[in-house]
Structure 1
Amino acid sequence: MRARTVGLLLTVCCGLTACSSEPVEQPSPAPQVPTPAPPTGTALKIEEVAGGLEHPWDVGFLPDGKVLVTQRPGRLALLSGMTPGATVTEVDADFADVLVKGEGGLMGLAVHPDFVHSRRFVTCQTRQNGGSPVDVRVVTWTLSPDGRSAQRVGDLLTGLPVNASGRHSGCRPTVAPDGALLVGTGDIADHPGIPQDRKNLGGKVLRIDLRTGEGLPDNPFASSPDPVERRLLTYGHRNVQGVAVQPGSDQVFISEHGPRGRDEVSKIIPGRNYGWDPSRGGTTDEYDESVSMSDTERFPDAVPPLWTSGSVSEAPSGAAFLAGTQWGQLEGRLAVVALRGQKMLLFRLDGSGAVTDVLLPPEFNDTHGRLRAARLGPDGALYVSTSTGDNDKILRVTLA
């Protein structure tokens, strides 16, 4: 295991952002988080459930034990089970309007809580029309009884901004215990005012009705006359990639790409600003990545991250809590997988939600390539997808 120290919160890699030799403004130093060696009894067992996939972006578990998998090039797969040797069946669905470019394509996935009756699930996807980018949107689908095809029901939410290059497309949906759909979005790395614009869906965490796509009546801006603002849970984000709900507290945590390192893990506080403003208060039309990820100087009330990667780029992606006694000493930790870092980070949180230490399981250090999705399955195992683009896999992770 590499002994380097990982700082608070996660960032995007230089390869995904515009690199520069210009000095970077750094936020006030965050408290260092210990990264001890994993204690005895915390070794992980990693099994390959299925392979032959291409950039699997997300996974969704069905009541019959099967697993849906979205693939960024615009394909949907159904795994026959959650154990090694599962067969992979391509699900026939019309993704002809998906813009597959850079970070964009067929992305996040969430299964309806009432799937056993409705057979519905939602996907996040970038849309094009005649080759021109339109938006990022959340689409509702119905899976056929035999699982071989999916029919598009309709667009649940449209108008999320999109970059023609696909950069900073987001888009991670997660169903909360109360049935609300949480969606982490990207700021598209183009129009610098988007993250602070509460009438734009980019660079936000949204909380919407899973049936209608509308903002919920107990959202922080529910009384706003603007329908976009009514959907917002938080704003001032750069590129949210992981959204996880802590069992027991129902507290929401996110993982987010930062510029030139400075990736973050944050606790969501409804209605709050998280401080990303590449427009420098509207003083520049350029997307300025030298500003602080969480600018508490310009926004004194901005919520600081719980953890940041500092100058190291990890490019964190999916996030999930390890719930259940089967995880032993790891129970309750927040698992975050990384693209550039090619690792898993396990965050221990105290009662207030603060990070007290981070474990780096050696079983994942540069052994499986880029890691994209992380979801806890109904069997209590953690399911992780690789994202190299060449024979990608779904991995099943348990305590050895």
Structure 2
Amino acid sequence: MRRIVGFAAVLLLAGCSNAPAGGSAPAGEAPKEIKVDVVATGFTHPWELGFLPDGRVLVTERPGRLALVEQGRRTEVKADLGDVVARGEGGLMGLVVHPDFATTKRFTTCFNTSSDIRLVTWELDGAEAKRVKDPLKAGLPTNPSGRHSGCRLTLDKDGKLLVGTGDTARASFSQDPANLGGKVLRLDLATGEGGVHTYGHRNVQGIAVRQDGLVLAAEHGPDVDDEVNVLKAGANYGWDPSQGGTVDRYDEDVPMTDLERFPDAVPAVWSSGSPTEAICDAVFLAGEQWGDMTGVLAVTALKGSKVLLFTVTAEGGVHSVSIPEQLDGAYGRLRGAELGPDGALYVTTSNGSDDKILRVTRG
């Protein structure tokens, strides 16, 4: 389960500033006391982590595998994943462990099939998983190439399932209220009932929920303008590569948030400008070990091969951004981010060969 954490509007500890140039927020001071340990190896594109009550970690791997990690050892989970289509950006991706896992043993995954992207709920018995709700939700669009598959899962403060979806590189999908691509969905975790929460997205790759209910999403831009957005129910985030339905091609020269075409669209609270970082998963830091870094938003980056730390105001604005040098290019592409029960930040690499789970603490 993605932990929902408390908030403090803080500045990072003094250190050497190395925040990216060109972003829409000032450079912050990067903390020096960050420690990174490799806790498990031998994965292939580990996409999402879920911590179980007994201390084990459940991991989705994009090629279509589930694994359990216990004391640094990876064990493959026996599961029927034969309908997973792993191609390009698609495959077995999002994961959320149910809050009542201790009694139900249930978790939900998100993956591409040959016909759609779907959510399936599973029950774990030892090192074997069986489908118990198949599907929980089906009919999310997919691209045969796997492009822009979205698939990030988390729970909001009310226990509803938030699902970030991609536009699958189809021009009209993001602004089409009848299409589930380019959206954030809000669903009942038990039944899959619910629908579109926000729309006008390109490819949502991270969703983080603060204790007060604020939800921030990390989203891929084209060749400019990765975005961090505050999600507001019913809001439009302004991506429209169809130019209002006037072009048939997927026109990526349009703005990520087109305020001329959609004056009521919600502007991003942070934009990368150029170059993009390919920002990915997002989680708020919390717990005694983080001290005055509690409430900082940690966001992984694929192309940028780093973790970005955002100081966030009470209203959800971004005060400043910094990058700890220990997580700047040292481990390659970084994808998953999750707080563990020990309060540490766990991050996955996504290089495709002997990928790792990293444990990040404040030394």
TM-score of the two chains, using structure 1 as the length reference? 0.85
1:142 matched residue in structure 2: 123
Aligned mate of 1:243, from 207, 212, 218? 207
Aligned mate of 1:313, from 239, 260, 276? 276
1:95 matched residue in structure 2: 81
Cα shift readout 1:138-170 (whole Å, capped 9, x = no counterpart):
1111101x2x11001121000000000000001
2:27 matched residue in structure 1: 35
Identity of aligned residues (%): 57
Equivalent residue letter for 1:241: Q
Equivalent residue letter for 2:26: P
Task: Give the conservation status (yes or no) of the 8 Å contact 1:235–1:272.
Answer: yes
2:10 matched residue in structure 1: none
1:226 matched residue in structure 2: none
Cα 1:143–1:295 shift into 2, 3 Å? same
- After TM superposition, the structure 1 = structure 2 runs for residues 307-346 of structure 1, keeping only pairs within 5 Å, are 307-346=270-309
Cα shift readout 1:103-153 (whole Å, capped 9, x = no counterpart):
00000100011111110000010012xxxxx00111111101x2x110011
Task: Give the conservation status (yes or no) of the 8 Å contact 1:5–1:34.
Answer: no
Question: Does 2:238 match 1:257?
Answer: no
Offset of 1:261 from its aligned partner?
A: 2.1
Structure 2 residues without counterparts, runs of 5 or longer? 1-15
Cα shift readout 1:165-189 (whole Å, capped 9, x = no counterpart):
0000011010223110000000000
| Residue aligned with 1:196, SS | coil
- After TM superposition, the structure 1 = structure 2 runs for residues 161-176 of structure 1, keeping only pairs within 5 Å, are 161-176=141-156
- After TM superposition, the structure 1 = structure 2 runs for residues 1-400 of structure 1, keeping only pairs within 5 Å, are 3=18, 5-8=20-23, 32-39=24-31, 42-81=32-71, 86-128=72-114, 134-144=115-125, 146=126, 148-153=127-132, 154-189=134-169, 191-215=170-194, 231-247=195-211, 249-400=212-363
Offset of 1:359 from its aligned partner?
A: 1.1
- Looking at structure 1, the residues matched to 18 and 361 of structure 2 have their Cα atoms a distance apart, in angstroms, of 23
Offset of 1:3 from its aligned partner?
A: 4.2
- Looking at structure 2, the residues matched to 170 and 109 of structure 1 have their Cα atoms a distance apart, in angstroms, of 12
Offset of 1:7 from its aligned partner?
A: 4.3
Equivalent residue letter for 2:178: K
Offset of 1:4 from its aligned partner?
A: 6.1
Cα 1:187–1:95 shift into 2, 3 Å? same
| Residue aligned with 1:194, SS | coil
Equivalent residue letter for 2:304: G
- Looking at structure 1, the residues matched to 22 and 240 of structure 2 have their Cα atoms a distance apart, in angstroms, of 22
- Looking at structure 1, the residues matched to 21 and 214 of structure 2 have their Cα atoms a distance apart, in angstroms, of 24
- Looking at structure 1, the residues matched to 322 and 66 of structure 2 have their Cα atoms a distance apart, in angstroms, of 33
Cα shift readout 1:198-235 (whole Å, capped 9, x = no counterpart):
111100011000011011xxxxxxxxxxxxxxx11100
- Looking at structure 2, the residues matched to 379 and 37 of structure 1 have their Cα atoms a distance apart, in angstroms, of 25
Aligned residues: 347
1:12 matched residue in structure 2: none
Task: Give the conservation status (yes or no) of the 8 Å contact 2:17–2:30.
Answer: no
- Looking at structure 2, the residues matched to 151 and 70 of structure 1 have their Cα atoms a distance apart, in angstroms, of 15
Structure 1 residues without counterparts, runs of 5 or longer? 9-31, 129-133, 216-230
- Looking at structure 2, the residues matched to 49 and 152 of structure 1 have their Cα atoms a distance apart, in angstroms, of 29
- Looking at structure 1, the residues matched to 357 and 341 of structure 2 have their Cα atoms a distance apart, in angstroms, of 15
- Looking at structure 1, the residues matched to 157 and 29 of structure 2 have their Cα atoms a distance apart, in angstroms, of 33
- Looking at structure 2, the residues matched to 377 and 135 of structure 1 have their Cα atoms a distance apart, in angstroms, of 32
Offset of 1:37 from its aligned partner?
A: 3.2
